[in-house]
Amino acid sequence: MARTKAKDFDGYGVELFIDEDGDWLAHLTELPNVSAFGATMDRALEELGIAWELVKESYAESGETVPVAPFKRQYSGQFNVRIDRRVHRALAIEAERQGLTLNALVAQKLARSVDGR
């Protein structure tokens, strides 16, 4: 069986699991409803490739655009977050004490959170 490559899923991540019956489940990480089963990992990936092609056909038939995988999207580096005013105050005080802007402090905290530090 030909091995399905990640590029076959247009940048979407793939997760593989073995269920309680010993069958493989493959699904797109960011689109968990796109999934398939197979007796082997390769078969599950092949079936997932077929499911993904059918999903894209469905989008096309309904005149919709296939969503772009987060990995392939362009990001501006800006977003707005609403937080409790007490948290805002505490962060502003912490930033001031560290000689940082509020944006720099929050960016550091988010980077640590994402990096697992």
pTM above 0.75, yes or no: no
pLDDT of residue 4: 52
Which of 47, 48, 57 is CA-nearest to residue 29? Answer: 48
Q: What is the mean pLDDT of residues 55-59?
A: 96
Q: Is residue 1 part of a domain?
A: no
**Residue 69: count of CB within 10 angstroms of its CB:** 16
Name the domain boundary from 50, 70, 90: 70
Q: How far is CA 96 from CA 23, 86, 90, in A?
A: 55, 15, 10
CATH number at residue 101: 1.10.1220
Q: How far apart are CA 70 and CA 81, in angstroms?
A: 19
pLDDT tens readout for residues 59-107: 999 999 999 998 889 999 998 999 999 999 999 999 999 999 999 999 9
Looking at the structure, do residues 18 and 38 belong to the same domain, yes or no? Answer: yes
Q: How far apart are CA 113 and CA 117, in angstroms?
A: 6
